[in-house]
A and B are shown apart, each in its own frame.
Chain A
Amino acid sequence: MADLKINIRDLALKNPVTTASGTFGYGTEYADFMNLKKLGAIFVKGTTFEPREGNPYPRMAETAAGMLNAVGLQNKGVVYFAKHIYPKIKDLFTSVIVNVNGSTVDSYVSCAEIIATLEHINAIELNISCPNVKNGGMAFGISASGAAEVVAAVRKVYPKTLIVKLSPNVTDITEIARAAEAEGADALSLINTILAMAIDVKKRKPVLSTITGGLSGPCIKPIAIRMVWQTFKAVKIPIFGLGGISCWQDAVEFMLAGATAVQIGTYNFIDPTIALKIIDGINQYCDEQGIKSVSELTGALET
């Protein structure tokens, strides 16, 4: 059996397979289907300083090999999280990482400050790439200066592992990646959803209440692989690769392209146990390939 352990700064993961924010609730939603402690980490639902009701229904549209969502960061706010949700998930025996969002730099900072006080949360994922909120979110993630500003401000107040989640809705993702790295990000995760749209032809109306939404699922995987590969060559910090992973081969593809670890997202809805199947698949692949440590796969693409 290969060594599946991964270390990203002081974040120690049992294996490189994690679950993506917004697709796995707070982990407990999946507890009936799997032993959660087998996961490398759980990225919990996007959290903001103030509570948010999210966008109006309809928020979802199925597409070919994927789906659009426009949830809009519905959550009860970081104070509620710290008081009521954190106590239930702090002892899951896997790393729990909070996805932090905001509409202003100050609101990102205030949210991160509260998460920093939670002993069992060893990392945050700074989401500068949510396409479904009017203010903030992706607005920070589509320019190098915007990304630099918010990463620098959060870095000052957050001493533990800081992961920055990047938007694919940019011309050159490596520019944003370098800006985040320069301001002290410990790792990157990419990609978030792709800005997209669907129309109900009978009604001649958009399917989503917000007109546009974020596309996820297997249909976006080739774009995500390309962006991970480009970013791997541009930065020195580790990358969480995500975007349409539905089997262990997909996960290995991301690692070969340069990801140190992966996040499973939308496919959790199709097969709630997929993450565990992917862990087993990677393990078997390593054995067959004579790989002693899974980290050998990172960037091992031969071109």
Chain B
Amino acid sequence: MEKYIIEANVIEKNSFEDKYCLLKLTAAQPFPDMRPGQFVQARINAASVFLRRPISINFMDKEKNVLGLLIQLIGNGTRALAEIRLGDKLNLILPLGNHFNLTPHSSTEAKLLLVGGGVGMAPLLFLGSYLKNDGYEPIFLLGAKNKCDLVQLKDFQKFGTVYASTEDGSYGEKGLLTQHSILKHNSFDQIYACGPKPMMLAVAKYAAANSFPCEVSLENSMACGIGACLCCVENTVDGNKCVCTDGPVFNINKLKWLI
């Protein structure tokens, strides 16, 4: 897919307890087609930040030409990015990377489980909306520290059934999402996961043990985002592969994880 450098405008900004920031952006030109799982490289105008930051696409409204980015304020880059104000411009390179398997099954009755931990939920909203639009009924399993961190709960509910785990038990089941009861005595035709590495590893083990097809979206630290610098590599059965161009989505069978 052709890549573009676009000056986007911030038209809406919602902050959630200094932990998350949801940006809605538009641009003078139409955003190109983007697929769930792809990401953007955002340029941050702060002296303390040198490199762009990869941010997954949270949603895309093609008709209104609005792009959504959900940012977790985790380091100096994302904190500086969240300082952006309404009306400010944000320079983006997009769309980058591959995408989730968007035709997971011949039947729309297939059971598709989308597992998101923390800010790893972000690309699953876009994926869920896409799958719902194609007639599937996605099942979401979301994990967070507490109810407040489930910042897009209502949006997820528009596209499918939502199960959740919170560490403090303030919403859904108490504990880690990998301990959620929905994972017991159920079978899935496709699992998609995005979140912290230990979570994805646990989901991958669960999928492998039950022979459920499973894709994970990785977030290795990255410099260029376009396959030039070879910094973000993941060790796969085919050797070191760039997460930015061969990923971020990988089938777990391709990874050299101890599953």
Q: Answer whether residue A58 sits at the interface, using C-beta atoms and an 8 A cutoff.
A: yes
Q: Answer whether residue B137 sits at the interface, using C-beta atoms and an 8 A cutoff.
A: no
Binds B, one of A18-26, A77-85, A171-179, A221-229: A18-26
Interchain pairs with CB closer than 8 A, number: 88
- Are A57 and B220 interface neighbours, CB within 8 A? yes
- Are A32 and B228 interface neighbours, CB within 8 A? no
- Are A24 and B231 interface neighbours, CB within 8 A? no
- Are B240 and A273 interface neighbours, CB within 8 A? no
Binds A, one of B2-10, B148-156, B178-186: B2-10
Docked pose: A65 CA to B221 CA in angstroms = 17
Q: A32-B3, A64-B48, A67-B223 provided; 6 other pairs, C-beta below 8 A? A: A22-B229, A29-B228, A57-B235, A62-B51, A67-B50, A270-B50
- Which chain A positions have C-beta within 8 A of B221? 58, 60-61
Rounded to whole Å, the gap between the CB of A40 and the closest CB of chain B is: 18
Return the chain B residue nearest A74 by Cβ.
B230
Q: Answer whether residue B191 sits at the interface, using C-beta atoms and an 8 A cutoff.
A: no
Binding site for A on B (CB under 8 A): 2-5, 43, 48-52, 77, 93, 220-235, 239-240
Binding site for B on A (CB under 8 A): 22-25, 29-30, 32-33, 45, 53-54, 56-67, 69, 71, 74, 217-218, 266, 268-273
- Which chain B positions have C-beta within 8 A of A63? 50
- Given A74-B240, A270-B51: A69 and B5 within 8 A (CB)? no
Return the chain B residue nearest A58 by Cβ.
B221
Q: Does more than half of chain A's interface fall in helix, strand or loop, or is it mixed?
A: loop
Looking at A54, A62, A69, A71, the one whose CB has the most chain B CB atoms below 10 A away is A62
- Are B48 and A268 interface neighbours, CB within 8 A? no
- Given A33-B3, A74-B240: A66 and B233 within 8 A (CB)? no
- Given A64-B50, A74-B240: A269 and B224 within 8 A (CB)? yes
- Given A57-B235, A74-B230: A67 and B51 within 8 A (CB)? yes
Looking at B48, B221, B230, the one whose CB has the most chain A CB atoms below 10 A away is B230
Docked pose: A268 CA to B52 CA in angstroms = 11
- Are B222 and A60 interface neighbours, CB within 8 A? yes
Return the chain A residue nearest B48 by Cβ.
A64
- Are B233 and A54 interface neighbours, CB within 8 A? yes
Rounded to whole Å, the gap between the CB of A127 and the closest CB of chain B is: 15
Rounded to whole Å, the gap between the CB of A223 and the closest CB of chain B is: 17
- Are A66 and B50 interface neighbours, CB within 8 A? yes
- Are B223 and A269 interface neighbours, CB within 8 A? yes
Interchain CB contact (< 8 A) of B50 among A22, A58, A59, A65:
A65
Return the chain B residue nearest A219 by Cβ.
B50
Looking at B93, B220, B229, B239, the one whose CB has the most chain A CB atoms below 10 A away is B229
- Are A270 and B220 interface neighbours, CB within 8 A? no
- Are A53 and B52 interface neighbours, CB within 8 A? no
Rounded to whole Å, the gap between the CB of B135 and the closest CB of chain A is: 33
